[in-house]
Amino acid sequence: MPFRDRERYLRAAAESVLAQTMGDLELVMFDDGSRDASAEIARELAAEDDRVVLVEGVRESVGFARAEQRCHDAARAAYVGCVDSDDVLEPTALELSLGRMEPDPLLAMVYTDHHEIDERGRRIGPGKRSRRAYSPEALLVDFMTFAFRLVRADVVRAVGGFDASVNFAADYDLCLKVSEVGVIERIDADLYGYRMHEATTSASQRLRQIHDSRIAVERAMARREMTERFALSLALKPSFELRGREVARGGEPLRLEPDAWLRGL
Amino acid sequence: MNFRGRGRYLGQAIRSVLTQSFSDLELLLFDDAQPGDPPDDASEVARAFERQDARVRVVREHGPGVGRASAAMAALERAARGEFVGWVDSDDLLVQTALEETVGVLRARPDAGMVYTQHLEIDGENKPGGIGRRCLVPFDRDRLLVEFMAFHFRLYRRSVSAAIGGVDGRFLAAADYDFVLRMSEMAPVLHVPKPLYCYRVHANSISSGRSIVQIGESIRAVENAMKRRGMWTSRELRVRVESHVRIVDRSGVEL
């Protein structure tokens, strides 16, 4: 569980992992340059529970892909699951996914359904994306395996892990690569709470995510030797909205400079 | 109008301008051929019209950045001599009375800087679809920050455009949005609720929808406008982008 500036949600995320019914686990955490109290919260968690492994953090963010990779590098278990630092896992998530994977050595990865929760952790409703049917081809157009995933650690290593050249879609890229070497199955149970909140993604992050996803899919098509016959078609529908600017705790408005990446376009 | 590599509809587009009921016009065509480029059908079409009709002038400009729409818009604007300027894309069509009606509006309202109309969507065979939805949104200077309703056809007063420094050629894909935002801050923008422009929608085009660059630039144009308008510290722009991915075979059929 890498994290950055998640003081509001980090404890809930970590505790949802530590409260799993399958308790024989390690929670690997990594501070990716937090500027709030997140690192302190992680230290508290590590002091409270010796299953928490705190990887040495960094001052400047290394980006999503490298942060995920650092956690995977430190993990010692044969199976690895990803939980975002603002989301929560249902108590039986590990038990059910591990129960599916352990007897079946051909399975490379399983993933679960999800529901959406609000800033206070209240259930908003079922999520749609993870309910779409999986196939290696369907994964090219829909990232349905985005919620809770349990993957064999040796498979992650074999496909090269998280690729920083598609940083904002490194998890999607990884799933595409896994889908080309092993079997992926969906667990028909809603075991992941995906938090909807204002800071989920800024416009520039979202555009970079779309951009990196596109590259990840194009690379997958090239690996699958589809490029000669097929092309990727991307339709984007933006909607703009003006709101009163949110003021952070210190009284300073949030984000007073346009995104650097947008200026560079 | 810039046209390179878009020969298929260029003749129709040019004729739709030259047959306007308002005929005291100059049609500027931008040829962005670079030295060494292979000959292009569209260049031939443009030159033929230039020979036939004294109102047609082909503008050529070489240099970095030429070839993108905003550079063409900037070059054409520099070359324009008329009191009013309007843009027609090289695969679209102008309805015969478009200029007459929009010129009439700007003449009757000397305070206004720009007028725009509705547009009708047409397909590759000129079959009409519906009236474009975005131009049904009523014009409002503030709403322009979140919706680009002042779409084709636009006619503007060249003196007002000169006062704001014209088209900003640094934008690759949202120069028109940025331009209209800045124009709307200088002088009133008027609307003619009639479809006087035919906008061609290409079915099955591989790059359908708006590109990442265009959305990113639109955000930048709006954020710049918010700063100019003194809204930057009190308001913020939230953007959502829905993304729909399809895999199509090379003839455009979905997998």
| pLDDT, average across residues B62-83 | 74
Measured CA to CA, the distance from residue A241 to residue A96 in angstroms comes to 41
pLDDT > 80? residue B153: yes
Measured CA to CA, the distance from residue A256 to residue B179 in angstroms comes to 24
pLDDT value for A254: 55
pLDDT value for B208: 46
pLDDT value for A249: 53
Spell out which residues of chain B touch residue A217, defining contact as CB-CB under 8 Å.
Answer: 245
Work out the percent of chain B whose per-residue pLDDT is above 70.
88
- What is the value of pTM for the model shown? 0.80
Task: Enter the tokens of residue A207.
Answer: 């555009």
pLDDT > 90? residue B135: no
pLDDT band per the 50, 70, 90 thresholds, residue B214 = confident
The end-to-end CA distance of chain A, in Å, is 31
pLDDT > 90? residue A89: yes
Judged on CB neighbours under 10 Å (0-12, 13-18, 19+), A134 is: middle
Measured CA to CA, the distance from residue A172 to residue A174 in angstroms comes to 5
Question: What would the DSSP string read from start to end of A104-149?
Answer: -TTEEEEEEEEEEE-TTS-EEEE-SGGGSPP-TTGGGT--TT-SSE
pLDDT value for A125: 92
Cβ-proximal residues to B153 (8 Å cutoff; 6+ apart), any chain: B86, B87, B88, B94, B98, B102, B116, B117, B119, B196, B197
Q: What is the pLDDT of residues A49-80, one digit of tens each?
A: 999 999 999 999 999 999 999 999 999 999 99
Lowest mean pLDDT among A213-217, B70-74, B86-90, B212-216: B70-74
| pLDDT, average across residues B232-252 | 83
pLDDT value for B136: 87
Provide, for chain B, the percentages of residues in helix, strand and coil under a 3-state DSSP scheme, each rounded to the nearest 5.
Answer: 35, 25, 40
The ipTM value here is 0.78
C-alpha radius of gyration, chain B, whole number: 18
Cβ-proximal residues to A166 (8 Å cutoff; 6+ apart), any chain: A65, A172, A173, A212, A213, A215, A216, A219
Q: How many CB pairs under 8 A join A and B?
A: 151
Interface test with A, best of B240, B248, B251 (most A CBs within 10 A): B240
Interface test with B, best of A143, A240, A261 (most B CBs within 10 A): A240
Spell out which residues of chain A touch residue B172, defining contact as CB-CB under 8 Å.
Answer: 265
Spell out which residues of chain B touch residue A224, defining contact as CB-CB under 8 Å.
Answer: none
Q: Which residue has the tokens 């505790």?
A: A15
Task: Give the CA-trace dihedral at A161, A163, A167, A170, to 10 degrees.
Answer: -40
B 187-246 residues with CB < 8 A to A: 206-213, 215-220, 222-223, 226, 231-246
Work out the percent of chain A whose per-residue pLDDT is above 70.
91
| pLDDT, average across residues B198-211 | 67
Which domains are assigned to chain A? 2-223 (3.90.550.10)
Lowest mean pLDDT among A130-139, B163-172, B187-196, B204-213: B204-213
Spell out which residues of chain A touch residue B241, defining contact as CB-CB under 8 Å.
Answer: 203, 206-207, 210, 236-239
| pLDDT, average across residues A22-34 | 96
pLDDT value for B133: 87
Q: Coil, strand or helix: which one is B231?
A: coil
Interface test with A, best of B146, B213, B236 (most A CBs within 10 A): B236
Which domains are assigned to chain B? 7-228 (3.90.550.10)
Contact at CB, B243 and A234, closer than 8 angstroms: yes
pLDDT band per the 50, 70, 90 thresholds, residue B206 = very low
Task: Please tell me the distance in Å from B192's CA to the nearest CA on chain A.
Answer: 25
Q: Across A121-130, A166-175, B231-240, which has the greatest mean pLDDT?
A: A166-175
Measured CA to CA, the distance from residue B75 to residue B71 in angstroms comes to 6
Q: What is the pLDDT of residues B178-191, one digit of tens each?
A: 999 999 999 999 99
- In which element (H, E) is residue A240 found? strand A230-244
* Amino acid in the structure at residue A143: F
DSSP 8-state class, residue B136:
G
pLDDT > 60? residue B204: no
Spell out which residues of chain A touch residue B215, defining contact as CB-CB under 8 Å.
Answer: 207, 236, 238
How many Cβ atoms are within 10 Å of A142's Cβ, its own excluded? 15
Interface membership of B145 toward A (CB under 8 Å): yes
**Cis peptide bond N-terminal to B153, omega within 30:** yes
Measured CA to CA, the distance from residue A253 to residue B7 in angstroms comes to 51
Interface membership of A232 toward B (CB under 8 Å): yes
Spell out which residues of chain B touch residue A196, defining contact as CB-CB under 8 Å.
Answer: none
